Amino acid sequence: MEKPVTLPAIQRRGRWSLAFGLLLLWIGVAHAAGMPLNGAWQEVAPGDTPQSVMDAYRAGHLRSFDPSMLQRFPRNELGNWVVIAAQPPWNNEDRVLTVYPAPMGAISVFYGDQVRRLAMNDFSAHGHGHGRLAWRVPAGLPASTPILLRVEPTQTVSAPIRFHILPWDTYLQRDTQWLVFASTCFAVMLAMVMMALFFSLMLRDITYAWYAGYVVCYALIQGIQTGFVFHPLRWQWLVDSSTLVGAVAVALSVAFASLFMMRFCDLRRHAPLLQVPVVAMAVGMIQLVLMRCSGIPLLISMAQALLNPLLMIGALLLLVAGVIAALRGSRQAWFFLAGWTPLLLLTALTSAQVNGALPHADWLNDLSLAGGAFEAAVLSLGLADRALQLRQDRDVVQVLADHDSLTRLLNRRAWTERASAMLAGSQAPSLAVLFLDLDHFKQLNDRHGHNTGDRALVAVATTLSAELRPGDLFGRHGGEEFVAMLDGIDAQEAMQVATRLCRRVHRLEIPVRDEEQLLSVSIGVAMRQHGDTLESLIERADQAMYRAKLHGRNRVCLDEFTSRAARERGEKRLRVVETRREEV
Ligand SMILES: Nc1nc2c(ncn2[C@@H]2O[C@H](COP(=O)(O)OP(=O)(O)OP(=O)(O)O)[C@@H](O)[C@H]2O)c(=O)[nH]1
């Protein structure tokens, strides 16, 4: 036989190495350094002029730094001067100075007597970058000329930034790539939000709405942080309020995430003790939002001071709750952890970066955006899984609700429902209802106990179910009574079936201590007549069963109406089918 061809391990390793190499190459191309740069900076002092700063730079009084690494400039009232100098070999072609990732504040470029203010929320700038600030270097400026910038002071923590001077074509390519990447991430998040909202409305389940709220807030935070809401979205209304909206979105995202995870991971069942702190976190975050929007300076500064510590506590709380719920059997908690943990990790790395760690990793911001899309997709999968599980639970409940717990037969309600449908939909010329009642069942119970009675009921139910056709509708009417509806069967055949059932029950042997207990059943058969309802049919079958009891039990009786009609037609054989005890 031909052996299956297996890839040698080394070859498979090679394949992974190739894929990894290609990924690194892609990252390398996407983040290629452009022209080699030197940088120097100093804090802005009162009375500084561009000329005095450049003189100090040339005299070597500024602190140097590597612009190709992420650099965080200290936060001070007047901002920081930065000089970026391209290193040889100089290339005077059309080029662009970029600042990436997009800073929250503005950067001013000093060129001759002119100053150009660059900011993500500035809509006047020509050739504005996406996810980065860009300044097209004027054609007359030689590449060897250092460029003076001022990083303007911001109200928020200044994130680290990196400088590049790129040829125009490379800049355009990189800018477009980022735009496609960011648009895809936002599109994924928004698609998931739409889906969740539809599910929430259709299924009347608030869990999906909390999830949608969380993803919207996260997308908004990312949109503001990367500047996507300004370029390309041009949301001018957000220019003056982006800091406030950003802070509100952060607090609300934690509130929504808490409410969502509580329901999604079913904390009530899997981690009930953590339910209260998780709800308290959501309420606390909403209070912070109200304080932040109150317009009262004291409350605003309190809200600002509380936000970060609460964020850390909230993240930890949700992580712990997720882990506990997952370990205690919540399937959805695994989905939550799979989507949420990478984002937590990225947030921790970004915080470390703000404090000087990972100076090369300028892609962390982009990864946070991709992490948001990834999380949205994973949680949506989790929501779909939850819907599936709810459906399965509902099916189980439906089965339990429709079936008798002892005999596993259809219970009276479910049998009546289905029998009504069968009766209404029956096209056959004749249809029969059998009413079965075990004989002297009380005696059996009294003599041998209820357990024996239960065993007898189960044995009868199992035996008779096997005896009937799959299309026959058999159920427990209550106590020791059973009912069957047989479609497409005439009186003659119905009596034969009933007689067979009667004999079958009498052959059953229920072991009781050392003896075998014999059972018997009386059966009434009613044939559908014109104008019959289910109730009238059952009533006639019940009366026929009662007659069977009166005539000595362990026998089958046809309902009066059908017997009389048959007698009138001269069908004597019907009476012969009625079973007497001795014949069984
Ligand atoms: N073990 C057990 N007994 C049940 C169950 N449901 C009803 N029974 C008993 O079935 C007996 C029915 O008694 P009766 O209605 O007097 O009827 P019977 O003793 O069969 O007498 P005839 O019907 O006249 O032959 C009662 O003792 C009920 O307690 C059950 O689920 N398990």
Angstrom distance (rounded) from CA 194 to CA 16: 37
Is there a single domain that holds both residue 324 and residue 207? yes
| Structure confidence by residue, pLDDT tens digits, 135-148 | 999 988 999 999 99
What Cα–Cα distance (Å) separates residue 380 from each residue in 189, 197, 205, 374?
A: 10, 11, 14, 10
Is there a single domain that holds both residue 465 and residue 385? no
Is there a single domain that holds both residue 84 and residue 184? no
Distance 397 CA to ligand 1 centre (A): 28
The answer as to whether 19 is a domain residue is no
Q: What angle do CA 456, 460, 464 make, to 5 degrees?
A: 175
Is there a single domain that holds both residue 295 and residue 421? no
Is there a single domain that holds both residue 192 and residue 258? yes
The answer as to whether 17 is a domain residue is no
Output the domain CATH number for residue 579: 3.30.70.270
Average pLDDT over the chain, rounded to an integer: 89
Distance 79 CA to ligand 1 centre (A): 92
Angstrom distance (rounded) from CA 332 to CA 383: 8
Virtual CA dihedral for 234, 239, 241, 242, nearest 10 degrees? 70
The answer as to whether 352 is a domain residue is yes
| Structure confidence by residue, pLDDT tens digits, 414-438 | 999 999 999 999 989 999 999 999 9
- Which of 442, 444, 553 should be mutated for ligand 1, with most atoms under 8 A from CB? 442
Angstrom distance (rounded) from CA 151 to CA 474: 83
What residue owns the CA closest to ligand 1's atom 7? 479
Domain end position, chosen among 350, 373, 400: 400
Is there a single domain that holds both residue 237 and residue 137? no
Mean pLDDT computed over 532-552: 96
In short, whether 152's Cβ falls inside 6 Å of ligand 1 is no
Atom number, ligand 1, closest to the C-alpha of residue 452: 1
Atom number, ligand 1, closest to the C-alpha of residue 446: 27
Going by pLDDT thresholds of 50, 70 and 90, the confidence category of residue 235 is: very high
Is there a single domain that holds both residue 142 and residue 197? no
Going by pLDDT thresholds of 50, 70 and 90, the confidence category of residue 398 is: very high
| Structure confidence by residue, pLDDT tens digits, 295-343 | 999 999 999 999 999 999 999 999 999 999 999 999 999 999 999 999 9
Q: Does position 7 have pLDDT exceeding 70, yes or no?
A: no
Going by pLDDT thresholds of 50, 70 and 90, the confidence category of residue 572 is: low
Distance 104 CA to ligand 1 centre (A): 81
The answer as to whether 513 is a domain residue is yes
- As a three-state string, the secondary structure of 360-429 is CCCCHHHHHHHHHHHHHHHHHHHHHHHHHHHHHHHHHHHHHHHECCCCCCECHHHHHHHHHHHHHHCCCC
Q: What angle do CA 145, 148, 153 make, to 5 degrees?
A: 165
What residue owns the CA closest to ligand 1's atom 16? 442
Going by pLDDT thresholds of 50, 70 and 90, the confidence category of residue 477 is: very high
Is there a single domain that holds both residue 443 and residue 566? yes
Burial 20-42 (b: 16+ CB within 10 A, else e): eeeeeeeeeeebeebbebebbbb
Is there a single domain that holds both residue 89 and residue 178? no
The answer as to whether 25 is a domain residue is no
pLDDT at residue 90, as a whole number? 81
Output the domain CATH number for residue 190: 1.20.1070
Domain end position, chosen among 337, 366, 400: 400
Domain end position, chosen among 168, 202, 219: 168
Distance 453 CA to ligand 1 centre (A): 8
- Strand ranges, E, within 34-78: 37-43, 63-65
- Which of 439, 451, 480 should be mutated for ligand 1, with most atoms under 8 A from CB? 480
Q: Does position 279 have pLDDT exceeding 90, yes or no?
A: yes
In short, whether 549's Cβ falls inside 6 Å of ligand 1 is yes
What residue owns the CA closest to ligand 1's atom 15? 442
The answer as to whether 83 is a domain residue is yes
Angstrom distance (rounded) from CA 189 to CA 207: 17
Range of the domain at 184: 174-400
Distance 442 CA to ligand 1 centre (A): 5
The answer as to whether 7 is a domain residue is no
The answer as to whether 120 is a domain residue is yes
In short, whether 542's Cβ falls inside 6 Å of ligand 1 is no
pLDDT at residue 575, as a whole number? 47
pLDDT at residue 65, as a whole number? 95
Is there a single domain that holds both residue 439 and residue 383? no
Distance 446 CA to ligand 1 centre (A): 10
What residue owns the CA closest to ligand 1's atom 29? 442
Atom number, ligand 1, closest to the C-alpha of residue 439: 25
pLDDT at residue 307, as a whole number? 92
Is there a single domain that holds both residue 291 and residue 355? yes
In short, whether 447's Cβ falls inside 6 Å of ligand 1 is no
| Structure confidence by residue, pLDDT tens digits, 59-88 | 999 999 999 999 999 888 899 999 999 998
In short, whether 418's Cβ falls inside 6 Å of ligand 1 is no
Is there a single domain that holds both residue 147 and residue 186? no
Atom number, ligand 1, closest to the C-alpha of residue 553: 25
Distance 443 CA to ligand 1 centre (A): 8
In short, whether 448's Cβ falls inside 6 Å of ligand 1 is no
Output the domain CATH number for residue 90: 2.60.40.2380
Q: What percent of the chain has pLDDT over 70?
A: 91
pLDDT at residue 583, as a whole number? 43
In total, how many domains does the chain have? 3
pLDDT at residue 29, as a whole number? 47
pLDDT at residue 2, as a whole number? 37
